[in-house]
Structure 1
Amino acid sequence: MVSMKDIAKACSVSVASVSKALNGYPDISEETRQQILKTASEMGYLPNSSARTLKTKRSHNLGVLFVDEAMSGLTHDYFNHVLESFKRTAESKGYDITFTSGNLSGQKTNYYDHCRYRGVDGVVIACINFFTEEVQKLVYSDIPVVTIDHVFDGRISVVSNNIQGMEALVTYILQKGHRKIAYIHGEDSSVTRSRLGSFYRTLQKKGIEIPDEYMPVIPYRDAMSAAIATSELLNLKDPPTCILYPDDFAALGGINEIRDRGLRIPEDISIAGYDGINFARILEPKLTTLCQDTETIGRLAAEKLIDLIENPKTTIIDKFTVDGTLFPGASVRDLNKLNTKNKI
């Protein structure tokens, strides 16, 4: 294994100069620094992580707390893209990532103790019940934390703009002439509350009231529950003309139920999803959905966490909101054209 002593000999400089160049210290000429870095790269030098930790007081390791109650793990269509962007950004800045859990060598532990055991410099928290005592202990600990899609006072958060997203989606459906719009929404969370408030507010601006029977509640990413809720909506005496789903995966359950009844999308019933995952663009018809910017969310989460670790006194503690983009698709029928034909 190549050592700093080997690099120093090759460059005819001291070991101290090599150390300064590799660790970014300013008291060395740029010419010497570049020579040392080039030589180190050519010789295949890899710094010892334990030695670096002792010297910098940092492990250059970021914890990821990700607990998906639906047990989909990293196949979760939305969060796996967020975490991939987070990982890519962290690695580009010289950090590794470690998944944090409530188990350590088969023994139950809490998230905070696991993070301390692993020696992570900071933690990003996503897709979890943020209201549990265990999560709050970690959030308000001495470990730098960034949360995704949930806001805590005095902590950095990166959130998808669910208010803007739902407003854009509902406005588009209204522009297509729909007034009887059902929303099969997810269970209570800060994300759900933001989307519900925006849903009702957007309709209120048009003077439209939605009956409670149009608003069933199901778990996120639960296609079976979505199919049952879709069936109940279609069985109503006055069924909706358009059904919104809490996420694109749940929309699959609705699509299956609609097709099992021999109905067509969007000719007989219009639908829309939320998330903008890849398969929504290849369905037939393409699913109308709100695409969340997973690339930016993951990148920002990594950048803000690393900034908090490296510059704790100057980092701004704030909520960073990322807008989504409407994907029109072809699953919402234009009722304006239908009404025009009827008038003729």
Structure 2
Amino acid sequence: MVSMKDIAKCCDVSIATVSKALNGHKDIGEETKRKIKEAAAKMGYYPNSAARALKTHRSYNIGVLLNDEAHSGLTHEYFSAVLEGVRVEAESMGYDITFINTHNSKMTYYEHCKYRDLDGVIIACTDFETPEVLELIDGVIPTVTIDYIFNNCTSVVSDNVKGMRELVQYVYNMGHRRISYIHGQREKAVTRDRLAAYYNILEELDVEIRDEYVKPSLYLDSEKAEEATYELLDLKEPPTCIIYPDDLSVTGGINALRSRGLNVPDDISVAGYDGIKLSQMLNPRITTVKQDTDIIGRTAARELINEIEKPKNAFAKRVMVQGEVLPGESVGKVAM
């Protein structure tokens, strides 16, 4: 069996240098890293995970908690793309991924993580205020949340305020003044940020804010979005543009519009959020805010692993990731 000592002898370096190179330490030159990794690959070296865990007191395994209310999980493009970013970054830093699932056991999330000996956990798309999640957040296992803010752990969030402001500004620039917003659950930080941004930008633009134009729905629920759309269409003066909580919800809205014989964008405009591929494949192509899912996922993994490996340097922070408006074909121009 090939050992680090064999690789060190082959490359004429110390065993410590080999260890650092194979574990991605930054104090080793790139050329030396390349040489050592190539030699390890040619010689058929495989690290002994049990020995590494014994030496470092880490399992090199991080958990992912994904439990959304719509039960879409990995079937939803946004979350699967975020988690792909998590996976790629974690693997590049020598860590594996384990999904946390307690459906078939009596263990809580925290107990499951301890049972699996996870080094840390990324929490995404869940009801963050449940006792089980709070137990996990308050425990000794390092945690990072995605799109939710706690004071005692690092959060990686999209800049929802900037995203919503820029989307409303775009719709306004297209001539719309009757702009409606169907939002997700009010208790979510994402919703609160987007709602505040919606109200603020309309006030700055001196656009009348109509309470009847703001309708509640659920994220990733096309049926609820369809119902809310009907309510807006039944108003004495319906909006000329409807902004939906996510791109999937837009499909429900379009169903409602078409059932009333309305054409997008000639009769009414719509816009979404997330920028999933589906939104750019629909006809008409949806105007939306594209979130940088790869950066969100990679950043979450990097922040968590840094906390695992350098606990003395760790402190709770909020990392903001920027998105961008994708001008599609679903928002038409309105004569001013």
Aligned length: 330
Residue type matched to 1:22 in 2?
S
Say if 2:209 is the partner of 1:247.
Answer: no
Q: 1:78, 1:277 within 8 Å by CA — same for their partners in 2?
A: yes
Residue deviations 1:15-54, cap 9 Å, x none? xx6576235599xx99999876544321212112112111
Residue deviations 1:230-281, cap 9 Å, x none? 1121121111111110100000011112122221111100110011110111
* Corresponding residue for residue 290 of structure 1: 289
* Corresponding residue for residue 19 of structure 2: 22
Query: Aligned equivalents of 2:179 and 2:33: distance in 1?
Result: 64
Say if 2:116 is the partner of 1:118.
Answer: yes
Q: 2:185, 2:216 within 8 Å by CA — same for their partners in 1?
A: yes
Residue deviations 1:175-196, cap 9 Å, x none? 1111111111111211000000
Paired residues for 1:149-298 under 5 Å: 149-188=147-186, 189-298=188-297
Please report how far the alpha carbon of residue 222 of structure 1 lies from its aligned counterpart in structure 2 after TM superposition.
0.7
* Corresponding residue for residue 91 of structure 1: 91
Secondary structure, in 3 states, of the residue corresponding to 1:107?
Answer: coil
Say if 2:41 is the partner of 1:41.
Answer: yes
Q: Percent same amino acid among aligned pairs?
A: 49
Please report how far the alpha carbon of residue 326 of structure 1 lies from its aligned counterpart in structure 2 after TM superposition.
0.4
Residue type matched to 2:290 in 1?
C
Query: Aligned equivalents of 1:229 and 1:302: distance in 2?
Result: 37
Q: 1:4, 1:19 within 8 Å by CA — same for their partners in 2?
A: no
Query: Aligned equivalents of 1:257 and 1:276: distance in 2?
Result: 21
Query: Aligned equivalents of 1:211 and 1:275: distance in 2?
Result: 25
Structure 2 portions without partners, runs of 5+: none
Secondary structure, in 3 states, of the residue corresponding to 1:58?
Answer: coil
Please report how far the alpha carbon of residue 3 of structure 1 lies from its aligned counterpart in structure 2 after TM superposition.
3.8
Please report how far the alpha carbon of residue 317 of structure 1 lies from its aligned counterpart in structure 2 after TM superposition.
2.8
Secondary structure, in 3 states, of the residue corresponding to 2:86?
Answer: helix
* Corresponding residue for residue 298 of structure 2: 299
Q: 1:114 to 1:206 in 2, by over 3 A?
A: same
Secondary structure, in 3 states, of the residue corresponding to 2:98?
Answer: strand
Q: 1:165 to 1:8 in 2, by over 3 A?
A: closer
* Corresponding residue for residue 105 of structure 2: 107
Query: Aligned equivalents of 1:186 and 1:5: distance in 2?
Result: 53
Structure showing greater Rg: 1
Secondary structure, in 3 states, of the residue corresponding to 2:328?
Answer: coil
Residue type matched to 2:149 in 1?
V
Residue deviations 1:81-139, cap 9 Å, x none? 11101100110111100011224xx3221111111111111111100111112111111
User: What TM-score does the superposition give when structure 1 sets the normalisation length?
Assistant: 0.89
Please report how far the alpha carbon of residue 293 of structure 1 lies from its aligned counterpart in structure 2 after TM superposition.
1.0
Secondary structure, in 3 states, of the residue corresponding to 2:312?
Answer: coil
Q: 1:240 to 1:100 in 2, by over 3 A?
A: same
Query: Aligned equivalents of 1:244 and 1:254: distance in 2?
Result: 10
Q: 1:33 to 1:166 in 2, by over 3 A?
A: closer
Say if 2:73 is the partner of 1:76.
Answer: no
* Corresponding residue for residue 319 of structure 1: 318
Q: 1:7, 1:39 within 8 Å by CA — same for their partners in 2?
A: no
Say if 2:328 is the partner of 1:329.
Answer: yes
Q: 1:150, 1:190 within 8 Å by CA — same for their partners in 2?
A: yes
RMSD value over aligned CA atoms?
Answer: 2.5
Q: 1:32 to 1:256 in 2, by over 3 A?
A: closer
Q: 1:67, 1:128 within 8 Å by CA — same for their partners in 2?
A: yes
Secondary structure, in 3 states, of the residue corresponding to 2:136?
Answer: helix
Residue type matched to 1:172 in 2?
Y
Query: Aligned equivalents of 1:74 and 1:129: distance in 2?
Result: 16
Paired residues for 1:126-137 under 5 Å: 126-137=124-135
* Corresponding residue for residue 138 of structure 2: 140
Residue type matched to 2:143 in 1?
V
Secondary structure, in 3 states, of the residue corresponding to 2:122?
Answer: strand
Higher mean alpha-carbon deviation, 146-155 vs 203-212, is at 203-212
